[in-house]
Structure 1
Amino acid sequence: MSNSVWKDVVASSRSYYYAQLWISVMASSNLAILTKSHKIIAAKKRARREQIKEIVFDDGARREFLTGFHKRKLQKKEVAKKKAQDREKQERLEARREKRQLLAERAAQNVAEVEKAYGGHVEDGDGSDTEWSGLEGTLASPDKGKGKAQEEEYEYEEEVATVTVVEDFDPDALIHGQDDRRPIAGAERDGAAATSEPPDVANRARHKPKPATADVRHDRKRSAPKPKDIKYQTSAARKVDRLKQRRRKSEKAERAGGKASRKGTSGRKKR
């Protein structure tokens, strides 16, 4: 096919397209074309009706926002400081809790080691069926077997330890201190050989005079001067006192000036 034929075909197709478009436009009703503007006007009226008429600002909130930057900054600092304090408190409590737990574990471990040591000694003994009842058994009868020393050997894998156990042990002496009125076991044994003191010396020893330090302290407390009660006044009360003092000074000055003037006039009259 030649170029002229192609041109004729293209021209005919274009004319056909435009013809179809014109037919479709003419097929639409004239009523829809005429009412299209009314739809646009109605849409504009609807938008105008839904439009906000006036924007009203809250002057107080606006002033607070514009002038409260420093206040908000301080509030943020306070909140951050409080959070840091709470965090430090939690960390401190956690550290204390861990420390108590470690101490409890260490105490339990020490108790287990002590019980193991005493239990191993009882099991490896001379075949006696008695079991060690802990420190309560030794503290229950402190008066039995006083003054007796018993040496015991503990053999371990690496070394041998020799322990001397003295049964002359009084738990009340640890709690309440050693009582001077209670006789010592050695003194009881040597009491027959020692010479008895006369009753007067014994009574003097028992009834010793109390030291005078307590009386001196009591006298010092009595003779010590009591601190003065300082009454603090408010600013208004101090202001009133200052005004009164100024008024008194001014009155004194006026009186002094009046006396001086009187003296001057009396001297002039005498002359």
Structure 2
Amino acid sequence: MARPNREILTGGKRYAQKRKQANRVEEVVFDKDSRVQYLTGFHKRKLQRKKKAQEYNQEQERKARLEERQRIREERRQQVQKRLQDLNEALKIQASDDEESEQSEQEGSEDKEEQWTGFDSHRSASDEECNAEAGKKGILKQKYEVDDSDAPVPGVSTVEVEAIENPNQIDLMELARKNRVDLQKAEEVLEQSIERAKKYARLVGADEKPKKRKKKFRYLSKVERRIQTLKERRK
């Protein structure tokens, strides 16, 4: 005989009830200490979470500061390298200019030496006579007559004056000519050196004037305002 639909449908319900009864929890036991700690520890756990969040934020700020310092160091290193590169290029250009000026000075000094060797042949006869009378270098003899009517012995007297130079004195022009140095360009060389030093200081950043720090504005507290008002009233 076939089973009716009602019995078939209610069979699943009975099976579920039997299975539920087989896996049923017989007793639930609570730990009183854990239960009290959970129910009364909301504020404590909140403070712990807040402390952990602060520690995390401090660690992130520290890492950010380290990264910022590293970035600043890298930028400064790149700036110094760039300035050194510019300085080297400027020094190379200056060295090439100095070489050209030295070559031109040497050529000019050679021309002057050639002209100087031919100077002795064009001297006048009077100069040769004066040098012959002098006898030694550095001595110049001059002769002139003096007629003094008020003198105790009447007549004409001859006076001879000898100008003696310092034998240890150094002739700078002669020394510069021997060393092929043009003293007329000394001022120009000095100006070039000063300009080069200024460029180096500008590239390195030594000519930058320190900026003045602005004074921080701070509001007075209540206590400070009271003290200030009392002082003003006493005046």
User: Larger C-alpha radius of gyration, 1 or 2?
Assistant: 1
TM over 0.5: no
TM-score normalized with structure 2 length: 0.40
- Which structure carries more relative contact order (alpha carbon 8 Å, separation 6+)? 2
